[in-house]
Chain A
Amino acid sequence: MKFKVQIGLTIFLISIFAFAGYKAATSFSLGAGIFPLMVGIPGLILCMIQLVKDIDSRFEKDIEEKPDDFVDVALDPSIPIEVALRGAGRMLTWIIALYLGIWVFGFKIAIIAFFVLYLKKEGKARWLKTLILTGIAGYTIFFHFDRLLSLNWPAGLLSKWIDLPWLFM
């Protein structure tokens, strides 16, 4: 599985560099295209070398055994990649659901609903805890971010259809 993820990512990067290089060479003037070309061509070559390394079984053992010594926060090694992917898919679904909620209802309503649903479903929190945490979030949004800092929020379709109370505008 890890092997597939590695190959998939390398192919994705190859396509990005190839597209960027092609566009820079064919659609941009010299002034606009020279830097993307300077970046895209070596990127494409390096990605292809990486792909060969990924595919070649001689290197596969090397990839698995060599520990990561580059500077980055490593993945929790105790979690199998299949479990990690499933969990990530689940989280992604929550995020997309929140986005859809924002698109339809607007940020303020969607985030409050998200708090209740997420805390009940994933957090397995009791109703009291759920309500307290949602209350804290609501207070922070409505009074600190909205009134004090006058931040902007994505408006939903709902606000176009009906006149919402000022609190949810």
Chain B
Amino acid sequence: MSYFEALAQAMQVLLTFQYVFLLFVGIFVGAIVGFLPGLGGVVGMAVLLPFLWDKNPNLIPPILMGMMGIMRTIDTIPAVMFAMPGTAGCQATVLDGYAMAKKGEAGRALGAAFFSSMIGGLIGSIALLLSVPIARPLIMACGSPEFFMFSMLGVTMVGVLSGSRPLKGITIGLLGMLLATIGGAPGVATLRYTFDIPYLFNGIPLVIVAMGIFAIPEMVDVAVSGDSISQVPRLTRGVLHGCRDAFRHTWLIIRCSVLGTYIGFLPGLGAAPANWIAYGHAVQSAKDKSKFGKGDIRGVIAPEAANNAADGGAIIPSLLLGIPGSPTMALFVGTLMIIGVDPGPNMVRLHLDFILLIAFSLTIANVIGASLCAIFAKPISRITTVPIHLLMPFLLMAIIIAAYQSTRHWGDLIALLLLCILGYFMKLARWPRPPLLIGFVLGSIAEKYLWISTMRYDAGWLLHPSVLAIGAVIIASFLFGLRGKKKYSKLEKS
């Protein structure tokens, strides 16, 4: 099938009523699972799967891409408004998004986030379209040593985010990595730090750590003051202002989207590392770093562009090589196999129209999703002015429901409570919390790939040219950050 024939076939499907209807069904389900913290793509896929089994294969992309397209956009709302990351891919957005909500700028933060999400999603979709001829050699060029080095690149962000307290930052990053070792060891039949508690056999879910460390301590902090989330009575700077801010930082959006696409494209990494690495990049490349964490718009734009782009990137290996990089993608690949479309190298030859349809559906869903979110952002942002004691029961309800969906075990709730106490004391004692999440997200990835690399190559992997190249990038980014910091302190002194 030629490219233009495939394009014509895909366009034919795009213009049917059924396509549009199913796209909106996907968007509706995606909006619910994305808005509720802790549910995410797996739950969305699980809800939709029973309706897809006997459908025409061409009607699968709108419903699944509709869901994925809006999910990464709408998950920003709880992250910005209540410091509750809706999915694992928007943890970094909490830092500046929530700080902006406290300053009465929730609308601005949401506007910027939606605009960046849309551009990120578009770049991810374009990458999916362009990757058809080059995806295979690119993925094959990366093995476990390269994946390990990428995770190390993410770990260096701990230094970037720790400011003048690198000792505390690194210690907390190590604590996050240690938490990630709870459960089964990779490649060895050993359970670590489980104390014979079955709940711990699979480790602590990421959503529990993120909500325990951030969401509840922030809620408690606002509850102590007895005020509303927004510390100013009237909201300032709305959605349009945020969109304009994002437009002003187009170059940052493009950089972070490309970064996000590439990280999403690597199996096993995905949106969670992508948003932290993009955030770190935004901090590192900024001349004035002092406002990050206190409501800097760039801290919202960068991770939001990256996490949406990562979805487009994640579809590439799933579709073209049959390698799902995440549980959501595994369900996606499974669904395609059930309906008779076998993902893998033959996709380009046999189902090029299907690949194009997926890319177009993701693009359309991103644009519609971001527009819908932007329309509702203004009324939603008003919630930040509601007194906290009226909101608190709703927030606690959402947190408990989200936490319990992780493994449906009481252990989820107990772990949440313990981590919330740790998070609050860290806040009181002025220990930075983001490094804990970075360590937790990247710790298990780093350990797994370190183990595979050592088993396969002994120490020889350290001399792989691509490993050395990524190592050089890590050192360069470290030195670049150091130079930027010195320059900034000089400016501050003068």
Given that A71-B161, A73-B95 are contacting pairs, would A95 and B293 also be in contact in the complex, using a CB cutoff of 8 Å?
A: no
Chain B interface residue count, CB cutoff 8 Å, equals 81
Residue-wise interface mask of A (126-169) relative to B, using a CB-CB cutoff of 8 A (1 in contact, 0 not):
00010001000100010011001101111000000000000000
Bound together, the chains give a CA A99 to CA B392 distance in angstroms of 15
Contact of A79 with B225 at beta-carbon distance under 8 Å, contacts A13-B171, A29-B190, A87-B220 already known:
yes
Contact A149 B163 (CB under 8 A): no
Cβ A133 vs Cβ B393 within 8 A: yes
Quick check: is B59 within 8 A (CB to CB) of the other chain?
no
Interface residues as binary, A27-68 with B (CB distance below 8 Å gives 1, 0 otherwise): 011011101100110110011011001000000000100101
B295-307 to A contact mask, C-beta < 8 Å, 1/0: 0000100000000
Residues of A within 8 A of B241 (CB): none
- Least CB distance from A89 to B in Å reads 10
Q: How far is the CA of A78 from the CA of B102 in the complex (A)?
A: 14
Q: Is the CB of A49 within 8 A of B394?
A: no
A35 to B390, CA, bound (A): 45
- The answer to whether B224 touches A70 (Cβ under 8 A) is no
Question: Which 3 pairs from chain A and chain B are nearest by CB?
Answer: A87-B224, A69-B163, A71-B293
What are 20 A-B contacts defined by CB distance under 8 Å?
A2-B429, A9-B431, A13-B175, A16-B175, A17-B174, A53-B167, A69-B289, A71-B162, A72-B433, A73-B218, A75-B221, A75-B430, A78-B225, A79-B225, A84-B224, A87-B224, A96-B417, A102-B413, A118-B392, A149-B32
Inter-chain CA distance A23–B486, complex, in Å, is: 41
Q: CB-CB < 8 A to A122: which residues of B? A: 223, 389, 392
Residue of B whose beta carbon sits closest to that of A144: B32
Complex partner residue of A74 from B167, B170, B219, B294, CB under 8 angstroms: B294
Counting CB contacts under 8 A, is B164 at the interface?
yes
Q: Mark B377-395, 1 if CB is under 8 A from A, else 0.
A: 0000000000101101110
Cross-chain contact of B393 among A33, A74, A137 (Cβ < 8 A): A137
* Contacting residues, chain A, for B102 (C-beta < 8 A): 73
- Report whether over half of chain A's contact residues are helix, strand or loop; otherwise say mixed: helix
Where chain B touches its partner, the secondary structure class is: helix
CA distance A35 to B180 in the complex (A): 11
Chain B residues within an 8 Å CB radius of A145: 401
Cβ of B475 under 8 Å from chain A: no
B415 interface hit (Cβ, 8 Å): no
Cβ contact within 8 Å between B421 and A47: no
Q: Using Cβ atoms and an 8 Å threshold, which residues of chain B touch A107?
A: 400, 404
Q: Chain B residues near A92 (CB, 8 Å)?
A: 220, 421
Q: Which residues of B contact A (CB under 8 A)?
A: 32-33, 39, 43, 47, 83, 94-95, 98-99, 102, 161-165, 167-171, 174-175, 177-178, 181, 185, 187-188, 190, 192-193, 214, 216, 218-221, 223-225, 283, 289-290, 292-294, 299, 387, 389-390, 392-394, 396-397, 400-401, 404-405, 408, 410, 413, 417, 420-421, 424-434, 443, 447, 450-451
Shortest distance between the CB of B439 and any CB in chain A (Å):
8
Interchain CB contact under 8 A, B225 and A31: no
A119 contacts B390, C-beta separation under 8 Å: yes
Number of interface residues of A (CB under 8 A): 77
Which residues of the other chain, A, contact B394 by a CB distance below 8 angstroms? 133, 137
Q: Is the CB of A124 within 8 A of B389?
A: yes
A81: nearest residue on chain B (CB-CB)? Answer: B428
Shortest CB–CB separation between residue A55 and chain B, in angstroms? 14
Q: A9-B431, A119-B393 are in contact. Are A70 and B223 (CB under 8 A)?
A: no
B119 to chain A, nearest CB (A): 23
Q: Mark A77-89, 1 if CB is under 8 A from B, else 0.
A: 0110101110110
Bound Cα distance from A70 to B171, whole angstroms:
14
B417 CB contact (under 8 Å) in A29, A99, A144: A99
Out of A9, A68, A83, A115, name the residue touching B163 (CB < 8 Å): A68
**A73-B390 CB under 8 A given contacts A20-B193, A28-B192, A32-B192:** no
Whether A39 pairs with B443 at a CB distance below 8 angstroms is yes
CB proximity of A107 to chain B, nearest CB, Å? 7
Q: How far, in whole Å, are A143 and B165 apart by their CA atoms in the complex? A: 48
- Are the C-beta atoms of B224 and A91 separated by less than 8 Å? yes
Give chain B residues whose Cβ lies under 8 Å from the Cβ of A35: 177, 181, 185, 447, 450-451
